[in-house]
Structure 1
Amino acid sequence: MDQPALLEELSVEAERDGVQQFVVGAVVQHDGKVLLLRRPEADFMGGIFELPSGKAEAGEALDSALIREVEEETGLDVAAIRDYLGSFDYTSGSGKKSRQFNFAVDVTAAEPIKLQEHDAYIWSALADEPPVTDAVKGIIGKYRELQVE
């Protein structure tokens, strides 16, 4: 993957599409399972499980935001960004057109998980139907396909 060129292309395309907020998401896999985090009930979309994800800061590159967000939300260190898994659009809690760019990442160690913004986590088996939104199911499905190839 030509990461710098791809990241630039994704950013330019999103800006052209009128996306106001860039979000990054990570598929963190360990022993055939994917890490999912649960949003606190009082949050926007409270109670759902999601990938470790978060907003890119103004001017922040997508890869830098991805590494920062995984560390902030889980305490895990990203060792490598492997594959781009696609994106999905949604309207944020503040009404902004948002696009979440999703990547498969390797971490240096899968434990310990240190939650900062979520109230629970699970390691969901890749073979299972994960308790996530359809958009996230699509991203995990793309990850599964890449593991078979």
Structure 2
Amino acid sequence: MDTFRVMRQDDNGNRFPVADGLARDEAERLAAEFEARGHKQLYWVEPTARPMEATGSVGGIGAAADGQDATALGDPADPGATGASGTANRIVVGGALIHGGRVLAARRSAPAEVAGRWEFPGGKAEPGETEPQALERELLEELGVRARALQRLPGAWLVRPGLELRLWVAELLSGEPRPLEDHDELRWLGPGELADVDWIDHDRAVLPDLARLLDPARQSPA
């Protein structure tokens, strides 16, 4: 039986497989579901046997920072720690978006248990995406900005069974952040203002590392 895959293309022409080995009707249903979510990329269905075109980054979005290769900035073959069920956790990436010596905080509007608290925006990595690619896509979808992932912050958190959060530093390349999805307010915070909002716990854990990045004078003496 012929099998099909769902493909996605972002605004820069980068192509990624979203799901593979599906029956045609299942693949078409999945592509339609992604479209209905309002994502800003193109989705389509193609036969699995069709050769994959080389994927890659164009310009700043998805590009590795400071000459690092894609493996150093998140390998899609690294799905995260294994959960209790024996299956790999799905990765959620959050982005500490930095610009002008400040970092962007976003206030959650839902779900109810975290509404009103602050976080670093982001979302789930799709199959085939590296963590930087997923973060740059999510910041475009959630905030309407183009950004570049720079480095991963220490730590990882199991936000619920099967979902592992990893936080990254990213730099703003273009655009003015707007709360387009899941947030109702944004604030730029300097190194001395990081404690001014009520952070979700796992985001709060990386504030000391962020403070040192925003203000080199806070670095511990050698």
User: Would you say same fold, with TM above 0.5?
Assistant: yes
- Decide which moves more: 22-31 or 80-89: 80-89
Please point out which of 16, 20, 36 is paired with 2:105: 36
Residue by residue, what CA displacement relative to the aligned partner does 1:38-71 show, whole Å, maximum 9, x if unpaired? 1114445222111011111123221110110011
Structure 2 match to 1:115: 180
Larger RCO (alpha carbons 8 Å, 6+ apart):
1
Q: 2:76·2:131 contact (CA, 8 Å) conserved in 1?
A: no
Structure 2 match to 1:98: 163
Deviation at 1:10? 8.7
AA partner of residue 31 (structure 1): G
Question: Are 1:89 and 2:89 an aligned pair?
Answer: no
Residue by residue, what CA displacement relative to the aligned partner does 1:121-140 show, whole Å, maximum 9, x if unpaired? 11122212142133212223
Query: Pairwise CA RMSD of aligned residues?
Result: 2.6
Counterpart of 1:27 in 2: which secondary structure? strand
Structure 1 match to 2:121: 52
Deviation at 1:24? 0.6
Cα separation, 2, equivalents of 1:106 and 1:114: 17
**For residues 1-20 of structure 1, what are the structure 2 equivalents within 5 Å?**
2-6=68-72, 7-8=74-75, 11=78, 14-16=80-82, 19-20=88-89
Cα separation, 2, equivalents of 1:41 and 1:82: 28
Deviation at 1:86? 2.4
Deviation at 1:8? 2.7
Deviation at 1:25? 1.0
Inter-CA distance 42–62: structure 2 relative to 1 (3 Å threshold)? closer
Cα separation, 2, equivalents of 1:112 and 1:38: 13
Unaligned runs of 5+ in 1: none
Indicate the percent of aligned positions where both proteins have the same amino acid. Answer: 24
AA partner of residue 122 (structure 1): R
How high is the TM-score relative to the length of structure 2?
0.56
How many matched pairs? 144
Cα separation, 2, equivalents of 1:135 and 1:144: 16
Question: Are 1:66 and 2:135 an aligned pair?
Answer: yes
Larger proportion of helix: 1
Q: Which runs of 4+ in 1 moved over 3 A?
A: 15-19, 41-44
How high is the TM-score relative to the length of structure 1?
0.79
Q: Which has the larger radius of gyration?
A: 2
Structure 1 match to 2:213: 146
Counterpart of 1:107 in 2: which secondary structure? strand
Inter-CA distance 3–134: structure 2 relative to 1 (3 Å threshold)? farther
